[in-house]
Amino acid sequence: MSTHTQKIIILDFGSQTTQLIARRIREQKVYSEIHPYTLELDRLRDMQPTGIILSGGPASVYDEDAPISDPGIYDLGVPVLGICYGAQLMTVQQGGRVEKAEKREFGKAELTVEYTGGLFAGMEVAPAHHQVWMSHGDRIEELAPGFVVSATSGHSPYAAIRHAEKPFAGVQFHPEVAHTLIGTDILRNFIFGLCNCTPDWTMHSFIDATVAEIRAKVGSDKVICALSGGVDSSVVAAMVHRAIGNQLTCIYVNNGLMRTGESEAILRFFREKTDLNVIDVDASEYFLKQLDGIADPEEKRKRIGYGFIEIFEAEAKKLGDVRYLAQGTLYPDVIESVVFRGKAPIKSHHNVGGLPERMQLELIEPLRELFKDEVRELGLELGLPEEAIYRQPFPGPGLGIRIMGGISAERLNILRQADVIVLEEMKDSGWYRKVWQSFAVLLPIQTVGVMGDGRTYEHVIALRCVDSRDAMTADWSHLPYELLGRISNRIINEVRGVNRVVYDISSKPPSTIEWE
C-alpha cells in the first residue's frame, strides 16, 4: 500500500551512507525509499519511480561477485543518478570502462565544475571550484558512448558525468555527506531538475494519507497498541487514534524496571493530555519473580520479553475480538540493508515481536516509512508536547539491563536513586537534549572507600552518556568536568551503598550503548 505519487527509489550497493541519501531527499519534501540492488525490474517498474539513484558501495565493478543491478533500468524512461560505485556501474553497463585508480581518493577533494547545467545548474560559472567528499578505489577511465564530462577532480578526470541526451548522470563523490558543500544543490537539481518532482511530501500530507489508509484498512474492527511512553509508541498511538478514535485501546505494562516515577508520569500524561483509552497493568512483582537470580544478559532479555507477551496477551484477550496490533516499527528496521544482511543480532531486542503470530493479529505499522527525526516531527504535528517527543530512548527491558548481575528490589532501588540524580543534573545543565542518552549502570562489584573515619566496601555506579544520530554508532559524550564532578559527588553523597562513580568512555562499536 503506497500513497506516494512521486518517489525516488535508491538501489543500495552497500554504502554506509545510503540511508543519508534517502534522508537528504526527504528533507527536500520528496519521498524516497531504499531497496537492495537485487530488486527485480518488474517490481521496480510497478513502483513507478520518478527517479532512480544507484548508491555507492565497497565493491569493484569487476569483482567476481560484484553487485550488479538489472541493466533494464536504463530503459524505463526514468532519470538515473549514479553515486560513486553507482556511477562506475552505470559507466560499465552503458559501455564505458572503469579501472583501479593509482591512488585511492579518500576524503576532501577539490572539484572543478566545467558544465553549469544538469546537476550543477544554478552554480557558479565554470570553472568553479568546490569541496566534495570522495571515497573510492576505482575510477572511470573511459566514458560510455553518449556520456560527457561535467566536472573533474585532482585524481578523477570524470568526477561528474552526464549523458548528452538522456537524463542519466553520475558523480564519483558523495553528494549526500555534509563535507560535500554543494551536495544538497546537486541532489535538488537531480530531483527537481532532472526528475521534475514537486516538493509535496510533508508531515501534514503524510498524516492525511496515513489516517485515510488506517481507516480503510481497519473498518469497524478493534486495534490494540503497546504503549511504553517512548516516542515511537506514543506517536503510533496518537496517529491511530486520530484515524479510528476509541476503536483503539492502548495497554501500558509496568514491568517494575522503570525509572523512578516514570510509570506514574507516563500514565498521568496520557490521561490528562490525550484522549487515548489506556489500560495500565502493574506487573512489577511478576517480573521481579521471573528475574530472581538471573544474571545472564540474554536470559534476562528473554524473560522480560516473554513476560511482557504473557501479560499483554492476557489483557488483550479480556478486550475480546481484537484484530490489529499497532506497532512503532521505523524505516531503519525495515530496510533490507545490503551491508548488514545475514549478520546475527548482537542482542535480542525486546519489542512486541512474537505477539502477532501468537494472537493472530494483523499489524498496523504507520511509521514504517519514517526515520526517527521524522517521527519526532510527526509527533509535534500531531500535537504531542515536546517533553514526550524529545524524551531520550529507553530500552524495553528497562533498568533490567542496566543492573549487571542479578536483579533485586534492593539493587533496583540503588540504581533508581543514582539514575534520578543523573537525569536531574543533565536537565539542569541543559545537556539532556544535547546527548542521545544519559544514564546510570550498577556494576556487580564492590570497592573499598573511606567515608568519615571508616572503611567502606560498597557498590560502583558507571555513568553512560553518548552522542549518536541513530544508535547504530555512538561516541561517549564530552561532558564538562564540572558536570561529571557534580553527578559523581551527588551520587556518592546521596545514594546509600555507593562509594564510587566511573565514567564510560567507550564508543560504539566496539562497545554498545547499553551494557547488556
> How far is the C-alpha of 5 from the C-alpha of 414, rounded, in Å?
54
Near ligand XMP in 466-505, by CB under 6 A: 471
Near ligand XMP in 434-453, by CB under 6 A: 437
User: For ligand XMP, which stretch binds (CB under 6 A), given 147-155, 275-283, 375-383, 390-398?
Assistant: 390-398
Closest by alpha carbon to 324, among 234, 223, 412, 407? 223
- Sign for the CA dihedral angle at 308, 314, 320, 323 comes to positive
- Sign for the CA dihedral angle at 8, 10, 15, 16 comes to positive
The active-site residue out of 33, 105, 176, 369 is: 176
Would you state the cell numbers that stand for residue 358, as one nine-digit string? Answer: 501468537
H helices of 361-507, in order, are 372-381, 386-389, 409-428, 481-494
Near ligand XMP in 244-303, by CB under 6 A: none
Residue listed under C-alpha cell 542482542: 347
The active-site residue out of 163, 174, 350, 459 is: 174
* Residue 486 or 508 with smaller CB distance to ligand XMP: 508
Strand partners, 442: 403, 461
SS3 of residue 195 by DSSP: coil
Q: Pick from 79, 256, 397, 400: which binds ligand XMP (CB under 6 A)? A: 397
CB 301 within 8 A of CB 398: no
| Minimum gap (Å) between residue 398 Cβ and ligand XMP | 9
| Minimum gap (Å) between residue 373 Cβ and ligand XMP | 15
User: For ligand XMP, which stretch binds (CB under 6 A), given 152-160, 185-193, 213-221, 345-353?
Assistant: 345-353
Residue 176 falls in the annotated catalytic set: yes
- Around 325, how many Cα atoms within 13 Å sit in the side-chain half-sphere? 24
* Residue 105 or 419 with smaller CB distance to ligand XMP: 419
* Residue 116 or 511 with smaller CB distance to ligand XMP: 511
The H or E element spanning position 476 is strand 475-476
Residue 197 falls in the annotated catalytic set: no
Q: Pick from 261, 383, 393, 444: which binds ligand XMP (CB under 6 A)? A: 393
User: For ligand XMP, which stretch binds (CB under 6 A), given 94-102, 368-376, 391-399, 419-427?
Assistant: 391-399
Q: In Å, how far from its chain's centre is CA 445?
A: 34
CB 504 within 8 A of CB 464: yes
513 lies in the binding site for ligand XMP (CB under 6 A): yes
CB 79 within 8 A of CB 190: yes
> How far is the C-alpha of 197 from the C-alpha of 190, rounded, in Å?
9
Cα-trace Rg, the chain: 26
CB 67 within 8 A of CB 37: yes
Between CA 198 and CA 207, with CA 204 as vertex, the angle to 5 degrees is 115
| Minimum gap (Å) between residue 346 Cβ and ligand XMP | 6
Residues 6+ apart with CB under 8 A from 103: 155
Q: Pick from 56, 67, 96, 395: which binds ligand XMP (CB under 6 A)? A: 395
* Residue 103 or 349 with smaller CB distance to ligand XMP: 349
Residue 225 falls in the annotated catalytic set: no
512 lies in the binding site for ligand XMP (CB under 6 A): yes
396 lies in the binding site for ligand XMP (CB under 6 A): yes
* Residue 182 or 388 with smaller CB distance to ligand XMP: 388
> How far is the C-alpha of 438 from the C-alpha of 213, rounded, in Å?
37
Total residues binding ligand XMP (CB under 6 A): 14
Would you state the cell numbers that stand for residue 344, as one nine-digit string? Answer: 546475527
CB 241 within 8 A of CB 247: no
| Minimum gap (Å) between residue 512 Cβ and ligand XMP | 3
User: For ligand XMP, which stretch binds (CB under 6 A), given 76-84, 111-119, 260-268, 388-396?
Assistant: 388-396
* Residue 184 or 507 with smaller CB distance to ligand XMP: 507
SS3 of residue 498 by DSSP: strand
156 lies in the binding site for ligand XMP (CB under 6 A): no
350 lies in the binding site for ligand XMP (CB under 6 A): yes
User: For ligand XMP, which stretch binds (CB under 6 A), given 27-35, 79-87, 349-357, 411-419?
Assistant: 349-357
| Site track for ligand XMP across 48-87, x = CB under 6 A | ----------------------------------------
> How far is the C-alpha of 335 from the C-alpha of 104, rounded, in Å?
30
Residues in the site for ligand XMP, rule: CB under 6 A?
347, 349-351, 393, 395-397, 437, 471, 508, 512-514
> Catalytic residue positions?
84, 174, 176
